């Protein structure tokens, strides 16, 4: 029988830890071409506002080095780029080659190619030197990582002293009465939208489940502190449906 260390969650399903990475890759390969369209539909366009809030909070300046981790289709990179131009640099990374291919094409269409490096890499083993980035972001990606503690430790390692790491992720509703409405939407309507638009109900059912299995606001805050970050904090967006966490490295 497998031990707890040998198993993990894939949505509500318990799977072998070694299998989760491939299962997650399959999900995002399946939805890559429709990923941004589905994000607009399932968040009613709010994901764009959440990401703009992240950029506003980050205090980006020209010349900085920035990591866009699990950045997939590159929409966050497109927001970062003008803030750090002309001399700043962005590394757009994702574990999924199909998502990165979408990102490269879309950035090219927008004329965003200068000082952007695209790297296929795992959040748990980043191919960067210690103390390399002024800012590190992971936006709606941490919940899909098998070992979240290891990913947070890697983000801490590659962030420069004086730098800051940000985690934008779905979280747990905090407004009274919001949870049952959100659950009904997530488990009834969201998979149907996935089937109608992306031809894949199962992947969007997994995405809804993965949100519920992700650490809540306070748990993630504690995990960032354990990873070594200082002055960790978070604030809720849309009543806690999304939370923005940040931690400094001193």
Q: In the chain, helix, strand, coil percent, each to 5? A: 50, 25, 25
| Cβ contact 153:227 at 8 Å | yes
Can you give the pLDDT at residue 202? Answer: 81
Supply the range of the domain harboring residue 35: 24-175+203-248
Mean pLDDT, all residues of the chain: 90
On whether residue 186 sits in a domain, the answer given is: no
Cβ within 8 Å of residue 216, ≥6 positions away: 171, 172
Position 1 scores a pLDDT of: 40
The whole-number pLDDT of residue 29 equals 74
Is residue 6 assigned to a domain?
Answer: no
What does the alpha-carbon distance between residue 155 and residue 73 come to, in Å, rounded to a whole number?
20
In this structure, is residue 52 part of a structural domain? yes
Average pLDDT of span 45-58: 94
Residue 209 DSSP class: H
Within a domain: 127: yes
Residue 144 lies in a domain: yes
Nearest to 138 by CA among 203, 68, 78, 188: 68
Cis peptide, bond prior to residue 100, ω within 30 of zero: no
Task: Give a yes or no: residue 187 inside a domain.
Answer: no
3-state secondary structure of 2: coil
Which of these ranges, 19-23, 106-110, 209-213, has the smallest mean pLDDT?
Answer: 19-23
Instruction: Quote the number of domains for the chain.
Output: 1
Does residue 171 carry a pLDDT above 60? Answer: yes
Q: How much of the chain, in percent, has pLDDT values that exceed 70?
A: 95
DSSP H or E stretch at residue 157: helix 148-158
Would you place residue 31 in the very low, low, confident or very high pLDDT band (cuts 50, 70, 90)?
low
**φ and ψ of 226, to 5 deg:** -60, -35
CATH number for the domain harbouring residue 126: 3.40.50.150
Cβ neighbours of 161 (radius 10 Å): 8
pLDDT band, very low/low/confident/very high, at 3 (cuts 50, 70, 90) = very low
Give yes or no for residue 211 having a pLDDT over 90.
no
Query: What's the CA gap between 242 and 240, in Å, rounded?
Result: 5
The model's confidence at residue 10, banded by pLDDT at 50, 70 and 90, is confident
In a domain, 98, yes or no: yes
Residue 2 confidence (pLDDT): 46
pLDDT digits (tens, 9 = 90+) for 89-119: 999 999 999 999 999 999 999 999 899 999 9
Question: Which ranges constitute the DSSP H helices of 110-147?
Answer: none
């Amino acid at each position: 029988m497998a031990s707890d260390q040998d198993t993990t969650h894939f949505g509500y399903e318990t799977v072998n830890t070694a299998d989760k990475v491939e299962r997650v890759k399959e999900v995002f390969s399946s939805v890559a071409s429709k990923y941004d369209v589905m994000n607009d539909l399932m968040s009613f366009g709010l994901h764009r506002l959440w990401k703009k809030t992240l950029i506003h909070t980050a205090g980006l300046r020209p010349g900085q080095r920035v990591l866009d981790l699990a950045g997939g289709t590159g929409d966050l990179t497109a927001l970062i780029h003008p803030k750090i131009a002309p001399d700043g640099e962005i590394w757009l990374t994702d574990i999924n080659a199909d998502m990165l291919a979408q990102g490269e094409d879309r950035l090219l269409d927008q004329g965003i190619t200068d000082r952007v490096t695209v790297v296929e890499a795992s959040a748990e083993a980043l191919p960067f030197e210690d103390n390399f980035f002024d800012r590190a972001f992971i936006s709606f990606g941490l919940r899909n990582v098998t070992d979240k503690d290891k990913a947070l430790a890697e983000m801490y390692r590659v962030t420069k002293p004086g730098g800051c790491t940000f985690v934008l992720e779905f979280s747990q509703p905090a407004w009274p009465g919001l949870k049952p409405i959100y659950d009904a939407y997530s488990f009834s309507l969201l998979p149907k939208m996935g089937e109608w638009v992306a031809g894949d109900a199962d992947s969007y059912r997994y995405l809804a489940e993965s949100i519920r299995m992700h650490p809540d606001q306070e748990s993630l805050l504690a995990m960032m502190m354990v990873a070594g970050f200082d002055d960790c904090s978070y604030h809720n967006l849309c009543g806690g449906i999304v939370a923005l966490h940040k931690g400094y490295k001193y």
